[in-house]
């Protein structure tokens, strides 16, 4: 919150300047159902720290969590500063019809368009966290330890993160054709090790959030051309809203599975002639929220960083970037825009106001009209703090023409 001093050109002497963060005003946070507490509370922390008042609209798809937020927040926080407004999509639309000073929305691109359209009526700035299809580039790793570690991290980021119902979960994997069999065997073995012979009974894989999303995922797998590519899993339990961790190899790229964000426990593996082709594969698609690359090849790492665009890039792990408050979290392009986490949340909900102050004692005569080449040249060298140039110009020894 402290003012930050700013450097000024010599021509402004004697002047002081600094930037001061000020609150934007009234903030609307529309959170998602898959991380109902984190995606609601974390933005509020930064918004309140920046001096704003906040209204939280939690997702109606996680009603128990929404009810708990509505019950507890008024007990611990001033209701004049933070308020929870639970409700369905109609309540959300009523909130969007009001004027806000900033809106943070986490959810699907389809609803994100509705939020932006509503915000545009009041010229309200928005931050959209939309997700997307996050790829995992799986390069050949010579060390067996590296392979097993990478597979562990890949599986945890896919099936361990709310059964894949997370915007930063791995959506699909890219691997060279000659290494796909080895990868599939490792995945199968590690799935059994992590989730047991019967994952539903072990209760380590999350359920699908509701029947609507369960039906959506079943429809993705109902395509015969997709179903024929399953190499592991594929069972559904509608009564318990449970879907077994499922792996498929080379499903059709034009299928809904490969064109829509999966948001479920399906891991498609796409094979490539060489791992470098993964860069063009990623570039040919909407920019993802995150790219995960498991590789020890420094050249490939540099190419991924320089030739692709994404909200974040993580090498040799996945999802862990989300828990680092010193790193900004946010998307780019189709995966959203704006960033928060830690201090970045404070900055997102603040306006950095420029403040300049000077006295009346000193003025440089050459800053005022009428203009001539001599005055303008003095202004030029003074702005650059070119002391020698100032002396030479005043003495008439430097007469460069100003164009």
Q: Give mean pLDDT, residues 200-219.
A: 92
Which of the residue ranges 150-159, 178-187, 332-341, 387-396 would you say has the lowest mean pLDDT?
A: 387-396
Q: What is the pLDDT of residues 295-306, one digit of tens each?
A: 999 999 999 999
Whose tokens are 């933070």? That residue is: 82
What range does the domain containing 301 cover? 135-322
Residues 283 and 380 in one domain: no
Q: What is the pLDDT of residues 317-370, one digit of tens each?
A: 999 999 899 999 999 999 999 999 999 999 999 999 999 998 888 787 788 888
Q: Answer for the pair 325, 372: CB distance below 8 angstroms, yes or no.
A: no
- Establish whether the linkage from the previous residue to 216 is cis, with ω within 30° of 0: no
Which of the residue ranges 113-117, 153-157, 359-363 would you say has the lowest mean pLDDT?
A: 359-363
Cα–chain center distance at 166: 12
Band the pLDDT of 151: cuts 50, 70, 90: very high
Q: How many residues does the chain have?
A: 403
Domain-located, residue 335: no
- Those residues whose C-beta lies under 8 Å from the C-beta of residue 343, and which sit 6 or more positions away, are 325
Domain-located, residue 358: no
Q: What percent of the chain has pLDDT over 70?
A: 98
Residues 219 and 288 in one domain: yes
Residues 181 and 48 in one domain: no
Which of 167, 176, 244, 261 does the annotation list as catalytic? 167
Residues 56 and 25 in one domain: yes
Q: Answer for the pair 301, 293: CB distance below 8 angstroms, yes or no.
A: yes
Q: Residue 74: how many CA atoms within 13 Å on its side-chain side?
A: 8
Q: For residues 104 and 97, what is the distance between their CA atoms, to the nearest angstrom?
A: 15
CB atoms within 10 A of CB 353: 11
Query: pTM to 2 decimals?
Result: 0.89
In this prediction, residue 361 carries a pLDDT of 83
Residues 140 and 127 in one domain: no
CB atoms within 10 A of CB 368: 9
Domain-located, residue 331: no
> What is the pLDDT of the chain when averaged over all its residues?
93
Domain-located, residue 329: no
Residues 298 and 213 in one domain: yes
Asked if the model's pLDDT at residue 197 lies above 90, the reply is no
CATH number at residue 294: 3.40.309.10
State how many domains the chain has.
Answer: 3
Which of 42, 127, 129, 134 does the annotation list as catalytic? 129
Active site residue 129: yes
Active site residue 134: no
């Amino acid at each position: 919150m402290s003012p930050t001093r700013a450097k000024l050109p010599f021509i402004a002497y004697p002047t002081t300047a600094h930037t001061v963060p000020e609150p934007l005003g009234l903030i609307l946070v529309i959170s998602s159902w898959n991380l109902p507490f984190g995606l609601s509370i974390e933005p509020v922390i930064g918004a309140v720290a920046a001096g704003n008042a906040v209204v939280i609209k939690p997702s109606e798809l996680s009603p128990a969590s929404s009810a708990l937020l509505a019950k507890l927040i008024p007990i611990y926080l001033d209701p004049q500063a933070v308020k929870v407004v639970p409700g369905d999509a109609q309540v959300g639309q009523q909130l969007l019809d009001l004027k806000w000073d900033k809106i943070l929305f986490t959810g699907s691109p389809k609803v994100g368009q509705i939020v932006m359209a509503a915000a545009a009526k009041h010229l309200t700035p928005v931050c959209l966290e939309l997700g997307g299809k996050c790829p995992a580039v799986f390069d050949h790793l010579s060390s067996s330890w590296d392979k097993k570690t990478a597979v562990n991290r890949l599986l945890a980021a896919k099936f361990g993160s709310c059964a894949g119902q997370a915007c930063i979960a791995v959506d699909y994997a890219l691997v060279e054709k000659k290494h796909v069999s080895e990868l599939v065997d490792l995945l199968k073995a590690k799935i059994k090790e992590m989730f047991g012979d019967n994952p539903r009974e072990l209760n380590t894989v999350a359920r699908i959030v509701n029947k609507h999303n369960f039906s959506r995922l079943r429809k993705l797998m109902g395509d015969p051309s997709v179903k024929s590519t399953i190499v592991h899993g594929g069972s559904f339990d509608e009564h318990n809203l449970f879907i077994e961790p499922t792996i498929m190899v080379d499903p059709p790229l034009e299928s809904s599975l490969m064109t829509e964000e999966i948001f479920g426990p399906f891991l498609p593996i796409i094979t490539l002639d060489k791992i470098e082709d993964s860069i063009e594969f990623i570039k040919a698609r909407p920019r993802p929220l995150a790219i995960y690359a498991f590789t020890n090849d420094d050249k490939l790492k540099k190419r991924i960083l320089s030739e692709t665009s994404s909200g974040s890039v993580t090498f040799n792990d996945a999802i862990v970037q989300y828990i680092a408050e010193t790193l900004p979290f946010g998307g780019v392009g189709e995966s959203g825009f704006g960033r928060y986490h830690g201090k970045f949340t404070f900055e997102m909900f603040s306006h950095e106001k420029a403040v300049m102050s000077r006295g009346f004692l000193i003025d440089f005569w050459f800053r005022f009209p009428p203009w001539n080449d001599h005055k303008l040249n003095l202004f030029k060298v003074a702005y650059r703090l070119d002391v020698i140039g100032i002396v030479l110009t005043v003495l008439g020894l430097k007469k460069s023409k100003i164009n």
